Each structure stands twice: as C-alpha cells, then as structure tokens.
Chain A
C-alpha cells in the first residue's frame, strides 16, 4: 500500500518542508509537492477564494487545487502557533476550514494542529496524531519524528548559514547558481514573509534580480532565533505574530549593521500583521538610521515593470548614499 500525501508549495512550506518530507518518508508515505507557482495556479486560487483574502492565502488555495486530483491526502496542518504565546495570523488558524468550505471533492485533509502556544507543548503532538493515521507502530512514529527533527535542524542551520529556503528545499539545485553571480558591492536586507519573498513568481524573482544588480542579499531567516527575538524586544510590547516578530527583529538588526546598505520591506496587500509591522519598522527600527528603506506591497495586480523600476531606483539610491558616506568618511 503506497499512498501519496500532497504538500502545497505555499505558506510555511519554506520553513517546514524538509521536516515534513522526512517524516512521511520514514513512514513509507510518498510526498508530492505542488508545482512552482504559475499564473494558472494563482488564477485557480483567486477564483476559489473570497476577494478580500490576501494574496498568499489565495495562492495557497491555488496550490491545494494543483494537488487535489493527484494525491490521496493533502497535508494542511492548522498552524496555530509555532512559539509560546504567539500566533502566525488569524488566517492560518482558519485556513483548513477556508479550503474545506470552498473546494468540493477534496481528498481528505490532514489538518491536525501545530500548536506550541502553551508551555510544555511540543511538535511531537502534531506528528504523533498525523503518524497514527498511517501506522499503528508508535516506535516507528517516534523514529520518523526524530529524523524529521534532525532534518528541521539541518534546514535551520542551512538558512542561518546564508542559504535561502528555496535553495535548500528544492531537490533540483539549479537555483544554487544564483548565488555565485558576479561580485557584490552592496548588501541588501529583504524583509518579508517567506511565502512572499521566496516564491519566485510572487516576488517576481526579486532576490535573483537584486543579485544580478550586484547585491548580496540577506533575509530575516539568516538570523538565529535568539538574535531576532532580542532585537524585537526593543518594541514597547512584544508582538504576538511569530513571522512579524522575526521581520521587525531583523529590521532592527540590519538597520544597525554597518555592512548592510539598504532594506526592502515586502508586504502583502491587505495583510493585517504587515500593516502594523510596516508601521513599527518605520517608527521604531528606523528611528536613528538614514539607510534607505523601500516598502513594496505586492498583490495580484502588481506589474513586473513597475517593480523593476522601483528596484533599480532603489539600488541607485543605495549606491549613491554609500558613496556619500564614503566621501564623508575620508574627510572626517
């Protein structure tokens, strides 16, 4: 008996895919990832989601639809909380229900809760409940779980060492070459939700473009957890959205780093948490820095041309500002 579990290439896929894949493999379950985002996938998502939903949610629905007639199950854990006393976003809490109530003829959803909100809760809860649906052997689940944790740790280490999630997630490593183009003379920090900045279609290949312009790109995911948490601690009140805590923390950190020349904040149109963090970055993290900051909001109508123009203008500004600083440094 060989079953296939589908994993949508969306939302927290970028953080957890290696772990999920390893877990299922150890249980002898095949996994299938939805195809890379295309206009078609996005269109399908847009059609089956309420207009008001944010782009990432529509896209995630599109990825579910890309899978639904090709797999036996769809893995769509309800990601309630990935850290104590924090959430991701209300829409993550309701996502499986949004899918279920809008798409007919779905294969069974595996939507058990990933919930670390309370003290003492562990990822094992999720994997145990999921594992039970495929095997009755608890030892086997335990082993698969341990292997999956190892995979997760590897993945985190990879990210911290500067590789971007889609590079470590993808089996076809052709993207890796992106990294080695030319020499970079400036460093740009790109701050945004993983599903916005790492999805090449959605971000319109922003990371690659920046590299082509000669920039070294850093993201929030390269910072170890304790660093961004410490930095985000400078806010008057702790944020209760994990992803945005990471973003704000990274903004504090990178504004302070001499080697970082500019920051780009990528927000989804209509995203609740982003609307607040954008404001916080402007009002707190940026307070005593003159580094250029570009705010990009993406939605399904964002045009590629406009975005290229803005990126180019931003790069010019970054270089120009740097020259000024260099000149200033020689004189004083």
Chain B
C-alpha cells in the first residue's frame, strides 16, 4: 500500500527476514483481485489480494497483515483473503498483527513468530527503524507537495522525489538513516521553484488506503500538482503505521484529538475507518483557509459514506467547496481529469472574486 512497504521492509530485513515486495499495484493486480474477491468487497481488499497473489508467484510464503476489531471491514480482511488464497491453492502462512487488546506482548510475540529467534531488543529497534523510515518518507512527500505546483521545470519534483526516496530505501541500518535523510532533503531543496507563483490549496481527506496508494487514487497528488495545486493530506504514512501497527507507541505529531473535537459538531461518534477524521479534517482545512477539499473513497466504503453525507452541510456552513471522488475498478482516468479540472477551475474563480471583493 503506497509507500508502506518501505518501512515494513526496513523493519523485517533488519531482523533478517527475507522480504518480498509485491510489484507496485497495477491494472493487473487489480484484475487478479477483482476476479477472486467478493464483488462488493471494497477496493483495498481487492488490490491487497492481487498483491499477495503476485507476491506468491515471486516465492513469498508468509503473509503479514494488520488486523483490527471493527467496526470496519479491515479487521476481517486477513481472514477472508487467506481463505480465498487457500481455496485457490496458495500455500500461505498467515500472521495477523491484531491490535493487542490487553498488552503489547501479543504483538511482540507475533513479530517474533515471523522473525524467529531474535532478541527483544533487536525487535524493538527494528520497529523503531521502520517507523523512522515512515517519517522520513512523509517528510519528503510533504516537500514534494509544496514543490510540485511551483516547479519551474515540469516533472522536476517527481524526478527528485524518486531519487530522494531511493536514498531512504537503500539504508539497511538505523545508523545510516539521518545522513540519508539529510541527502534526500537536499535533493528536494535543489528543485527550482517559483515561490511567488499563486497556487490553490486543497486538502485531501478520506479513506486511508485510497489516500496513500497512488494507484488507487490514480495519482491524484501528481495530477493536482500539475494543475497548480498544493495539496495536503489528512493522513500520512507514519500516522497510520503508528496507529495500526505500532499501536500508538510512538507519540503522534498531529493529534487526532483535535480532529475529533472539530468533528463533534457534525458527527458525534466515531464510525470506524477514518470517517471521523474525514469530517474533522474538513472542518480544519476550512478553518485554515484552504481553497477546497476533496474526499476520496472506495466504492461501498462504509465510514466514508457516513462522512460523505455530512460534508455538504460543512461545506455550506463553513463555505469550503468539497468534492467527493469515488474510486472503483471501473474509474477511468479521463473522467477523473475532467472532474479535477472543473473543480480546480471553480476554486480559482472563487478565489479571484474573493480577492476582488477584498
């Protein structure tokens, strides 16, 4: 999922586990998943299934997945996927990292199961290493968000980002990470930008998988960037990794408490997934003066549907245009671009009128 593999891979390789990274999600992955997954499963499940099938063809024999305890579907993914794979004849060992209800020991046990005999200390260092890589990735992506709409040579940001990420990926031990990050940041800083160019700012909210996986969101960040939009995401990789895999061990930078407070006026209870965050972040973006919000969700995603039905009211009351994009296996690229252009156009015109009035 997105760039998550970078951090998981770092953690496990540090613990001497052979890691097979499935090829990046592609049309083929999706087709594989769609073919074998339940028709109305949400897209993340389908892609995930496809990923595992592709990884098996490369020789993977153990699946590591995060679990959960509801109310959203994610918590049951691993089991359903495992059953499907089993029925298809794949021989997979399944390790599910359930958020431990009681204490962290469960999780560490599971990790030990994957890693064999490793000292606790090394396991914990491995986790920390993975998390720090996630943070590094986030930092670079944020820089890219800033540079993309302002770059003077088209495509410069993406090229630099690729190289910068590679620096991070190459590092095999925690000691090397700070220096690598330093180098990566310098590469990003070297991008030529026009800081005076007027840009629109759009907040991306919605279902986490769709937000983080460029294939699922059809590279929306890049597309918006090239239309002169600076984006911000309501969720970054390290936050998710922290929440779901490391159980909030690392102290979170952006407090989700604030989002919850902001959401309270419109949605008074958590609804699973990131529904509440979507609502809260939309309010936040409005307050921070963003020009618009785009919500991304996979077809049939339950928490986001709840959020979606609340967004129009927020949009009306706080005066921030919001658009909802639903992705499924049929979404076409041309349609998306047209819709994005129309939305960006609307925002630009709104901004102009506001400036004239002011």
Contacts and interface: CB of A to CB of B under 8 A. Distances in A.
Does B bind A? yes
Interface of A: 49-50, 52-53, 78, 80, 85-91, 93-94, 96-98, 101-102, 113, 235-237, 239-241, 267, 269-276, 278-280, 283-284, 297
A155 B73 CA distance: 31
A94 B70 contact: no
Contacts of B70: 86-87, 240-241
A50 B69 contact: no
Contacts of B26: none
A267 B38 CA distance: 12
29 contacts: A50-B308, A50-B309, A52-B308, A80-B269, A86-B70, A87-B70, A89-B302, A90-B71, A90-B272, A90-B306, A93-B270, A93-B306, A94-B271, A94-B303, A94-B307, A98-B310, A236-B79, A237-B79, A240-B75, A269-B40, A271-B300, A272-B301, A273-B73, A275-B39, A275-B300, A279-B83, A280-B83, A283-B80, A297-B40
B81 to A, nearest CB: 10
B306 A276 contact: no
B275 A90 contact: yes
Contact of A275 (B38, B75, B305, B306): B38
A137 to B, nearest CB: 28
A101 B266 contact: yes
B21 interface: no
B272 to A, nearest CB: 4
A273 B307 CA distance: 18
Given A98-B310, A102-B309, A270-B299, 14 more contacts: A52-B300, A90-B71, A90-B273, A90-B303, A236-B79, A237-B76, A241-B71, A272-B72, A272-B302, A273-B73, A275-B42, A275-B300, A276-B76, A279-B41
Contacts of A50: 305, 308-309
Contacts of A102: 309, 312-313
Nearest to A238: B69
Contacts of B310: 94, 97-98, 101
A289 to B, nearest CB: 16
A49 B40 CA distance: 20
Contact of B42 (A236, A267, A272): A272
A113 B269 contact: yes
A97 B267 contact: yes
A280 B87 CA distance: 12
Contacts of B267: 94, 97
A283 B38 CA distance: 11
B56 interface: no
B268 interface: yes
Interface majority SS (helix, strand, loop, mixed), chain B: loop
Nearest to A279: B38
B84 interface: yes
B171 interface: no
Contact of B299 (A52, A85, A279, A284): A52
A97 B78 CA distance: 31
Contacts of A113: 269
Identify the interface centre among A49, A87, A284: most chain B CB within 10 Å of its CB. Answer: A87
Contacts of B309: 49-50, 53, 98, 101-102
A52 B79 contact: no
A267 B41 CA distance: 13
B326 interface: yes
A21 to B, nearest CB: 25
A275 B302 CA distance: 12
Contacts of B72: 90, 272
Interface string B51-69: 0000000000000000101
A272 B73 contact: yes
A113 B273 CA distance: 19
A272 B275 contact: no
A245 to B, nearest CB: 11
Interface in B265-289: 266-273, 275
A-B interface, 8 closest residue pairs, ranked by CB to CB distance from nearest: A240-B70, A94-B306, A87-B71, A275-B40, A90-B302, A90-B272, A101-B313, A94-B271
Given A270-B40, A272-B302, A279 B80 contact: yes
B308 to A, nearest CB: 5
B80 A272 contact: no
Contacts of B273: 90
Interface string B67-101: 10111110110111011100100000000100000
B268 A97 contact: yes
Contacts of B300: 52, 270-272, 275
A87 B303 CA distance: 13
B266 A53 contact: no
Given A87-B70, A87-B272, A275-B39, A283 B87 contact: yes
Contact of A93 (B40, B69, B80, B272): B272
B80 A280 contact: yes
Contacts of B301: 272
Nearest to A85: B69
Contacts of A49: 309
Given A52-B305, A90-B302, A97-B268, A278 B275 contact: no
Contacts of B41: 275-276, 279
A273 B270 CA distance: 17
A235 B272 CA distance: 22
A291 B72 CA distance: 31
A113 B270 CA distance: 12
Interface string B132-165: 0000000000000000000000000000000000
B37 to A, nearest CB: 8
Contacts of A274: 40
Contacts of A86: 70
Contact of A276 (B80, B272, B299, B313): B80
A287 to B, nearest CB: 10
A90 B79 contact: no
A272 B270 CA distance: 17
A271 B40 contact: yes
A269 B268 CA distance: 27
B40 A235 contact: no
Nearest to B301: A272
B302 A239 contact: no
Best-surrounded residue of A94, A267, A280 (most CB of chain B within 10 A): A94
